[in-house]
Amino acid sequence: MPPSPDDDAVAMTTDLHPDLTRALRRKLLQWFRRHKRDLPWRRTDDPYRIWVAETMLQQTRVARVLDFYGPFLKRFPTVRRLAEADLDDVLVAWAGLGYYGRARNLHRAARAVIRDYRGRLPRSVAALRALPGVGRYSAGAVASIAFGAPAPVVDGNVARVLCRLFAIRRPPATADVKETLWSLAGALVSRRSPGNFNQAMMELGATVCTPANPHCSACPVRDHCEARRLGLEGRLPASRPRRAVPHYDVVVAVIRRGERVLVTKRPPVGLLGGLWEFPGGKRERGESDAAALRREIREELGVTVRVGRSLCTVKHAYTHFRVTLHAHACTIRSGRPRPITGDALRWVTADELRRLALPAATVRILDAIGLAPRRP
């Protein structure tokens, strides 16, 4: 079990001894120079490219970002090219990376940079945070790495390192612990090399101070780690009790007209905003798939449908809930479809699907029924 707050023998303080601060900075920077991974965003000093990387890296593994970073920058090599692009094209380039609000905000922010800053990213944390979608972490990362500002960063990796280094026994998601972690990061960040120091902290958490089975023998600051001294390295950071993850059954209508299928565009804000998918929705308690589809399609498109055979069942997990999608072949019995709850609709061929931004779950349905689009 995780330690309880009553066990907290180490006060959460940001009053660090200067000798400790200097030692941690020196050892982490030396370790980073020798052991950092060769990643493409570490080979550039272009603030735009660093910003794109930091946006992609939010809640996403490095290995996944590596698949998208190069192609995205080839398509949008400058902030001006991104700002001038159509949002649909940006979403297509982002499709498969998830958390699509990041792409929408990146596009909005690029336009703000062109409009308000003559195409140059602002240098200060405050100005960066004023851009759409740029939060405390992203602003600190870009300011420190791209502009050399002594701004701290705290992501999941840094939080884990700090909780172990200072034996903080309460969950890092707790509001006051969050502030303590940011204060500690601010006290520690190197004034001479803030970008490398922040990257060293993140790198240490990603490769050495890992969530399970941390590699303490390879840690450059193990002699200063309170969790290791107390034998708590495997129990920290403490976690909050897990909540049950909601599950929903979703019905999906695959409506064909000759060689084309009907897809609808989600509203521009909210979950999967601006992406294209098959029409459908949540199945209510006690409803059959057929009854749910008839109701959903009437509400979404203003038409009545005949529900045919089951095509496939796909399970998909989002951050805070899970879904099981039940896809059925459907035909329109009466009415002309119009986008009542969505943004638009289209009849598209399999080849035309490749030019649309599609959620991962929709791609899996397409794959199951033999219509998966080829990605460029």
Tokens of 191: 């004034």
Are the C-beta atoms of residues 12 and 41 closer than 8 Å to each other?
no
Give CA–CA dist 5/241, Å, rounded.
Answer: 14
- The pLDDT value recorded for residue 234 is 92
User: φ and ψ at 124, to 5 degrees?
Assistant: -90, 155
**pTM for the predicted model, two decimal places:** 0.85
Are the C-beta atoms of residues 263 and 269 closer than 8 Å to each other?
no
Q: Which run of H or E residues covers position 261?
A: strand 260-265
Please enumerate in sequence order all residues whose Cβ is within 8 A of that of 58, keeping only pairs 6 or more positions apart, or say none: 99, 102, 137, 138, 155
Give CA–CA dist 105/100, Å, rounded.
Answer: 9
| CA distances (Å), origin 168, targets 28, 154, 184, 197 | 20, 15, 11, 21
Give CA–CA dist 77/96, Å, rounded.
Answer: 20
Q: Which of 75, 73, 71 is nearest to 48 (CA)?
A: 73
Strands (DSSP E) contained in 284-321 are 304-317
Q: What share of the chain is helix, strand, coil (3-state, %, to 5)?
A: 45, 15, 40
Q: Mark the ranges of the chain whose per-residue pLDDT is less than 70.
A: 1-14, 372-376
- The pLDDT value recorded for residue 188 is 96
Of 54, 233, 277, 300, the catalytic one is 54
Give CA–CA dist 274/88, Å, rounded.
Answer: 7
- The pLDDT value recorded for residue 343 is 86
Active site includes 299?
no
- The structural domains of the chain, ordered by start, are 16-230 (1.10.340.30), 247-368 (3.90.79.10)
